[in-house]
Structure 1
């Protein structure tokens, strides 16, 4: 709560002004019953009706309620604006934090759960600022004002009402304790619902192909049922602890006040105006109590949501960043791995003592069975994960010495699954690099031979691209990804099975482009089809995280080892003879 309130520091002046307006509105509210008490006891009961004092009293009464209405309107609007601005700041903070979290975080966090934190949880916190805090502040000030009015009328009666406060505070404490456990379960179950929904939508083609609709429906139904049970518990608790319990305390207070006046009437004349004012104050006193108790539902949900959001903001699984004050530049593109050992979880090693050098202009290919560590080498070179044993160097400088901008600008990455952003073709090639002209974008597309299919599109470079580029073929998306990479003119080229998703005709075009792209650049390529890397300067064969063989295509075939066996499996028993004949 203290942390949530700390966001108010951005709007100190506005909060102070809104609070002053609230005090004025509350003062006007509190004075209303006192004016009515004066009218009843001084004029109505003795049946004395002088015109001028009554007119003044009437104008005062109307004026107080007009001030109350106008100032309450202004303070509600002010607090709501402050609340919405705070949530805007918080959402930007959360989104910015997500951008800086490392892939290690995403490996361990379901996407749907993360979306739930950024959307549902921040929305619940917004309700806290917009509804709860303004209500609590307003109601608390009103209660203090009502107590002041009660003490002004009769200190003994005010003390009777004051006795009820411990019971109300106890009710709030019990409700908070019980509801926090229930709402924590509901938020977790809602997060699981989003995660299951996200998984189902992304894998819908596989779900339908494998006829998994019933299983997914059953699993979704079970989580949904758990969420419903938690919500029903909260409904039962709210029904018991909110209106019913508070109304019982109100009735006790009403009986105490009426009993007090009844006992007094045996010996003294009871002033009807004072009785009216106290009953009016009692109603007004329990109205903010009811409002606060009803807002405790949102308050508890917001506390649980804030716990989850702040947990995300405080997460230390950040992406690796520059660790030295030097600012070296990637000039030649020489890549060197020196005795690199790595484990994603810190225990199970996926890379063991990896050492190799890729010189400028050379192509180093990484081959091996699934799980051999090829992608892990790429992930470490891209500095997606931190390494604790060994070192990676570019042009003789440690990877940790380079800034993110320098690395991302000088290392071009093409993945097997090309990601397209919503926008148009030119936007997806240019991305955020506004300095790239339309001519540079076109030349990049021509360089990788993507221009041939772009020219056939109705709007060419302004053709809309939907979510993930669903309207384009996998080959077209890959060509656009190549163009995007070449537009930056990188010194180091990283290819993660870049031709796996394209047809034979497109692959030939890409291979032609690749031969031009590799000139003057260090290229590190993961390949499953060995035919695509036969001209590599060096081929590293990985097995269970270790380099077991290295050499050129012909050298490895002559060794008759793991590479030879992989090549035979892909090309048949006569592969070696055909390769030698070539």
Structure 2
């Protein structure tokens, strides 16, 4: 059972940032992916922000102004409290003309309102401009990734899972986007808040400031201890989540098999076991990490008590005003918040740099060899193909083809046969220049394919593969994919030639039937017929059929073979087949094994040789010959 496919990475900023609805300390202890080269990746990511340095300066200034006006407000509000307190005390003492100076308080409150409005306005400017910078930066990065993917060779996609590539192009990019838009401005705000609050607290009372600062080490110790403890359970939670997702995915994908073999109880029992395991690690992780906030609040309340008691004593000694005590209490509350935010942001930035590093690894992948400076174009290809001393291996130290030589005349039908892994499909990949040769050359109409434009080279070929590929859209669109601008009549004619027209018209919406993403709403054989119709519509100069009729019944195969025979008239055709009965009429049969052509000739010539081909051919009709051809014990067959 796969346990990797369902593993989820922590969402970008989710549970760790301080966005809307987030609480300080949320997500602390979550496992954080770390970059291999933090400084180098950070510097490179910063390079993408440099074109927007003017806007970033605006963001920086707006964040500072917004934060300063916000943290100055409590001190001014304290003045209003002082005025109110002084007026009440004077009135209580019975001083002549004593009373609360409401005009002065109103004046202070108006100033305070203006400050709040200015702070909110600059906060809006900061978020608006930063959103523009972040989205533009990620837009440029996404564009580079998209262009890079178009320039990567086929071997890159063959050696990596689709999920991994999509994760880098989507999940990691979203992580970067979220951090740039939210955490970067939060980082500036938190730093300015810490500095500003310390300065203002010092202006009120150095003694009280010392009391608040002394609570910081205690807060850090608690945070580190709890985070380390919860880290273990979070790792277990992620692992269990991956296992559970993998199980659900596999059971869903193999639902019919589970039903057919009666494994429902075993499947449910395994799910319950994995779910229980996830529950155990999940609640422990959430509970332990959830204790951070109560502990932080407890420590903050201790500081609050000390500030209140000491501040009260200072007020009685006229060493400090009561409004300043109020302001100081607000500052002490504000002081712990940005520290917790910075701890969370540090985790987010680590995860983001790791995501950026994965994206940059993709951007640094080796690209396809560039086309020739003056690439040639074959306007009217004839279909002559020649392999001259071709050498190739998927790994540099493990050669597959050593010295392959083939000479195919225009219009010939070449059949390629051999056991699995012999190199049949590799030959096609090399012909279409999906992979580069290690030695020798391949000529089409006498021109080296490395001198041709890739688009022109591949436009000469029509392919029907064993693994069908259809996309989410109408049947008409899937067939029309073979040639741009094809008319309705041409699409129908191609469908009739492929013997697909009849089953298409039996569908509720005929040619307008929508295929789902996996095209599971039609049978495997019907999928194959549609891909054959697509190839017929393309009207290529060179045709490649890789087990094209493997998914259809024998009767339909006979019709398709006739359609293929008509299609192959006057065209060079490469036919890869396991059922040797389908290629008896080929002009030339190439027998491959271990990347080399060991026999070649017509069907009759190869049978007369009584060699490898004859063994393969006879193995499809007699068990004894099969054992000989496959070199496996008779009793296994």
- Normalising TM by the smaller chain, what interval? 0.7 to 0.9
Q: CA deviation at 1:526?
A: 0.3
Structure 1 residues 102 and 69 mapped into 2: Cα distance closer, same or farther (>3 Å)? same
Shift of 1:129: 3.9
CA contact (8 A) 1:365 1:536 kept: yes
Stretch of structure 1 that moved more, 46-55 or 463-472:
46-55
Question: What are structure 1's unaligned runs of at least 5 residues?
Answer: 576-582
Q: Does the alignment pair 1:39 with 2:80?
A: yes
Q: Residue 28 of structure 1 aligns with which residue?
A: 69
More helix by share: 1
Provide Cα deviations, 1:304-331, integer angstroms capped at 9, x if missing partner: 5444444444444x5x444422312242
The answer to whether the 8 Å contact 2:83/2:101 transfers is no
Conservation of the 8 A alpha-carbon contact between 1:146 and 1:285: yes
Q: Do 1:187 and 1:305's aligned partners in 2 also have CA atoms closer than 8 Å?
A: no
Task: Please name the residue that 2:495 is paired with.
Answer: 445
Q: Which of 64, 87, 90 is residue 115 of structure 2 equivalent to?
A: 64
Q: 1:487: which partner in 2?
A: 537
Q: How far apart are the structure 2 equivalents of 1:401 and 1:74?
A: 54
- Tell me how far 1:374 sits from its aligned partner: 1.3
How far the C-alpha of 1:298 sits from its partner, in A, is: 4.7
Q: Which residue of 1 aligns with 2:424?
A: 374
CA shift, 1:368, in A, is 1.2
Q: What secondary structure does 1:354 align onto?
A: strand
Distance 1:229 1:402 in 2: 61
Cα distance in structure 2, aligned partners of 1:3 and 1:160: 42
TM-score (norm 2): 0.75
For residues 111-133 of structure 1, give each alpha carbon's deviation from its aligned partner in whole angstroms, at most 9, with x where no partner exists: 44545555554454454345433
Partner of 1:411: 461
Deviation at 1:451, TM superposition (A): 3.5
Query: What is the Cα deviation at residue 463 of structure 1?
Result: 2.1
What's the CA shift for 1:249? Answer: 6.1
CA-based RMSD: 4.1
Cα pair 1:83 1:126 within 8 Å, conserved: yes
Q: Secondary structure at the match of 2:599?
A: strand
Report the TM-score, using the length of structure 1 for normalisation.
Answer: 0.82
Take 1:125 and 1:89, find their aligned partners in 2: how far apart are those partners?
Answer: 12
* Cα offset, 1:56, TM superposition: 1.8
Q: What is the CA distance between 1:11 and its match in structure 2?
A: 5.3
CA distance 1:490–1:187, change in 2 (3 Å): farther
Residue 374 of structure 2: aligned partner: 326
Q: Distance in 2 between matches of 1:372 and 1:166?
A: 67
Equivalent position of 1:549 in the other structure: 599
For each residue in 1:536-582, what CA deviation from the matched residue of structure 2 results, as whole angstroms up to 9, or x when unmatched?
11101112322111011111111111112222233469x9xxxxxxx
2:77/2:109 contact within 8 Å kept: no
CA distance in 1, matches of 2:232, 2:443: 51
Shift in Å at residue 281 of structure 1? 1.3
- Name the CA shift for 1:300/1:496 in 2 (closer, same or farther; >3 Å): same
Return the structure number with greater relative CO, CA threshold 8 A, min gap 6: 2
Q: 1:572 to 1:262 in 2, by over 3 A?
A: closer
Aligned to 1:580: none
Looking at structure 1, the residues matched to 312 and 174 of structure 2 have their Cα atoms a distance apart, in angstroms, of: 51
Distance 2:136 2:372 in 1: 37
Is 1:147 matched up with 2:198? yes
- Of 93-102 and 376-385, the range deviating more from structure 2: 93-102
Question: Secondary structure of the residue that 2:574 maps to in structure 1?
Answer: strand
| CA spacing shift, 1:194–1:392, aligned 2, 3 Å | farther
Which residue pairs with 1:288 in the alignment?
338
SS, match of residue 45 in structure 1? helix
**Deviation for aligned residue 1:455:** 4.0
**1:502-513 alignment to 2 at 5 Å?**
502-513=552-563
Alignment match, 2:293: 243
1:109 aligns with 2:109: no
**Count of aligned pairs between the two proteins:** 571
What displacement does 1:79 show?
A: 4.2
Residues 183, 304 of structure 1: 8 Å contact kept: no
Q: For residues 171 and 312 of structure 1, do their structure 2 counterparts lie closer, same or farther at Cα, with a shift above 3 Å needed?
A: farther
Q: Identify unmatched segments of 5+ residues in structure 2.
A: 1-41, 91-98, 626-637
Looking at structure 2, the residues matched to 343 and 140 of structure 1 have their Cα atoms a distance apart, in angstroms, of 56
The answer to whether 1:527 aligns with 2:577 is yes
| 1:422 matched to 2:472 | yes
Range with greater deviation from structure 2 (58-67 or 105-114):
105-114
